[in-house]
Chain A
Amino acid sequence: MTSAVAEITFTAAEMKGFIFRPARGTNAVTEAAPTLVLTQATKSFGPVLALADGSITLYPGEAHALLGENGAGKSTLVKILGGVYRPDAGSLELGGRAVEFTGPSDAVTAGLAIIYQEPSLFPDLSVAENIFMGRQPVGAGRRIDRRGMNRAAHDIFRRLGVALDPGRPARGLSVADQQIVEIAKALSMAARVVVMDEPTAALTTVEVLRLFEVITTLRAEGVAVLFISHRLEEVFACCQRVTIMRDGRFVRTAPVEELTIDDIIRSMVGRDLEALFPKTATVPGDVVLEVDGLARHGAFSDISFTVRAGEIVALAGLVGAGRSEVARAVFGVDRRDAGSVRVAGRALPNGDARAAMAAGVALVPEDRRQQGLVMELGIDQNVALASLRRLSRGGLLFRAGERRLAATWTSRLRVKYGRLRNPVLTLSGGNQQKVVLGKWLARGPKLLIVDEPTRGIDVGTKAEVHRILDELVAGGLAVLMISSELPEVLGMADRVLVLREGRLTAELSRAQADENTIMRAATGQDPELAA
Chain B
Amino acid sequence: MTAVTNRAGRTGGGRAVLAVLRAREVGILVLIGFVVLITTVKNSHFVEANSVQQMLSGAALFALLGVGETLVIITRNVDLSVGSVLGLSAYVVGYMFKYHHIPVWSGFLIGTLVGVAAGVVNGLIVTVLRVPSLVVTLGMLYVIRGIDGVIVNGDQIDPASIPNSFTAVGYRTFLGIPWLAIIVTVVVAIVGYAMRSFRASRELYAIGSNPDAAALAGIPIGRRVFSAFLISGTLAGFAGALFLALHTQINNNGGVGYELIVVTAVVVGGVAIFGGSGSVVGAALGALLLNVINQALVAGRISAFWNQAIAGALLLAAIAFDRWLSLRVTRSLQSAEGAHHEL
B219 touches A163 (CB 8 A): no
What string of 1s and 0s marks CB contacts (under 8 Å) between A279-314 and chain B? Answer: 000000000000000000010000000000000000
Residues of A within 8 A of B277 (CB): 124
Min CB distance A307 to B, Å, is 26
B5 touches A163 (CB 8 A): yes
Contact of A134 among B7, B218, B326 (CB under 8 A): B218
Residue B197 CB within 8 A of the other chain: yes
Residues of B within 8 A of A121 (CB): 210, 213
B215 touches A104 (CB 8 A): yes
Residue B129 CB within 8 A of the other chain: no
Residues of A within 8 A of B210 (CB): 120-123
Contact of B199 among A124, A144, A168, A525 (CB under 8 A): A144
Contact of B206 among A107, A133, A298, A319 (CB under 8 A): A133
A104 touches B218 (CB 8 A): yes
What string of 1s and 0s marks CB contacts (under 8 Å) between B320-343 and chain A? Answer: 000000100111111111111111
Q: A144-B197, A163-B6, A320-B337 are in contact. Are A120 and B11 (CB under 8 A)?
A: no
Q: A125-B206, A164-B340 are in contact. Are A103 and B218 (CB under 8 A)?
A: yes
Contact of A105 among B209, B220, B343 (CB under 8 A): B220
CA distance A144 to B334 in the complex (A): 28
Min CB distance A330 to B, Å, is 20
What string of 1s and 0s marks CB contacts (under 8 Å) between A110-136 and chain B? Answer: 000010100011111100010001101
B15 touches A122 (CB 8 A): no
Residue B17 CB within 8 A of the other chain: yes
Residues of B within 8 A of A171 (CB): 326, 329-330, 333
B209 touches A125 (CB 8 A): yes
CA distance A235 to B17 in the complex (A): 41
Contact of B218 among A105, A123, A165, A319 (CB under 8 A): A105
Residues of A within 8 A of B10 (CB): 163, 165, 168
- Comparing A39-47, A202-210, A267-275, the segment that makes contact with chain B is A202-210
CA distance A142 to B197 in the complex (A): 8
CA distance A107 to B7 in the complex (A): 35
CA distance A318 to B214 in the complex (A): 31
Residue of B nearest to A524 (CB): B343
A162 touches B198 (CB 8 A): no
In the complex, which residues 67-103 of chain B have their Cβ closer than 8 Å to any Cβ of chain A?
none
Residue B148 CB within 8 A of the other chain: no
Interface contacts (Cβ under 8 Å), in number, total 143
Min CB distance B8 to A, Å, is 10
Residue B2 CB within 8 A of the other chain: yes
CA distance A226 to B206 in the complex (A): 27
Residue A442 CB within 8 A of the other chain: no
Residue B272 CB within 8 A of the other chain: yes
What string of 1s and 0s marks CB contacts (under 8 Å) between B13-54 and chain A? Answer: 111011000000000000000000000000000000000000
CA distance A204 to B2 in the complex (A): 13
Residue B168 CB within 8 A of the other chain: no
B220 touches A163 (CB 8 A): no
Contact of A144 among B198, B208, B330 (CB under 8 A): B198
A172 touches B206 (CB 8 A): no
A82 touches B333 (CB 8 A): no
Residue of A nearest to B212 (CB): A120
CA distance A114 to B215 in the complex (A): 13
A122 touches B342 (CB 8 A): no
Residues of B within 8 A of A104 (CB): 215-218
What's the tally of chain A residues with a CB closer than 8 Å to chain B? Answer: 55
B1 touches A207 (CB 8 A): yes
Residue B3 CB within 8 A of the other chain: yes
A172 touches B342 (CB 8 A): no
CA distance A106 to B198 in the complex (A): 21
Secondary structure at the A interface, as helix, strand, loop or mixed, is loop
Contact of B276 among A82, A84, A124 (CB under 8 A): A124
Residue A143 CB within 8 A of the other chain: yes
Q: A133-B206, A318-B341, A319-B341 are in contact. Are A122 and B220 (CB under 8 A)?
A: no
A144 touches B1 (CB 8 A): no
Residue of A nearest to B6 (CB): A163
CA distance A134 to B216 in the complex (A): 11
CA distance A53 to B336 in the complex (A): 47
A133 touches B219 (CB 8 A): yes
A161 touches B218 (CB 8 A): no
CA distance A116 to B272 in the complex (A): 27
CA distance A167 to B4 in the complex (A): 16
B217 touches A142 (CB 8 A): no
Min CB distance A503 to B, Å, is 12
Residue A234 CB within 8 A of the other chain: no
Residue B205 CB within 8 A of the other chain: yes
Residue B202 CB within 8 A of the other chain: yes
- Comparing A60-68, A173-181, A241-249, A367-375, the segment that makes contact with chain B is A173-181
Min CB distance B31 to A, Å, is 24
Residue A359 CB within 8 A of the other chain: no
B209 touches A163 (CB 8 A): no
Q: A163-B7, A172-B334 are in contact. Are A124 and B205 (CB under 8 A)?
A: yes
B216 touches A136 (CB 8 A): no
In the complex, which residues 147-200 of chain B have their Cβ closer than 8 Å to any Cβ of chain A?
196-199
CA distance A136 to B330 in the complex (A): 25
B219 touches A172 (CB 8 A): no
Residue of B nearest to A522 (CB): B343
Closest 5 CB pairs of A and B: A105-B218, A172-B333, A120-B213, A320-B341, A124-B276
26 contacts between A and B (CB under 8 A): A83-B218, A104-B218, A105-B218, A120-B210, A120-B212, A121-B213, A122-B210, A122-B276, A124-B205, A124-B272, A125-B206, A134-B199, A134-B203, A144-B199, A161-B1, A163-B5, A163-B340, A165-B11, A167-B11, A169-B333, A171-B330, A172-B332, A174-B337, A204-B341, A206-B1, A524-B343
Instruction: List chain B positions with a Cβ less than 8 A from chain A.
Output: 1-7, 10-11, 13-15, 17-18, 196-199, 202-203, 205-206, 208-210, 212-220, 272, 276-277, 326, 329-343
| Given A104-B215, A122-B209, A123-B209; 16 other pairs, CB 8 A cutoff | A108-B218, A122-B205, A122-B213, A122-B276, A124-B277, A133-B214, A144-B197, A144-B198, A158-B4, A165-B11, A167-B15, A169-B17, A174-B334, A174-B337, A320-B337, A530-B343
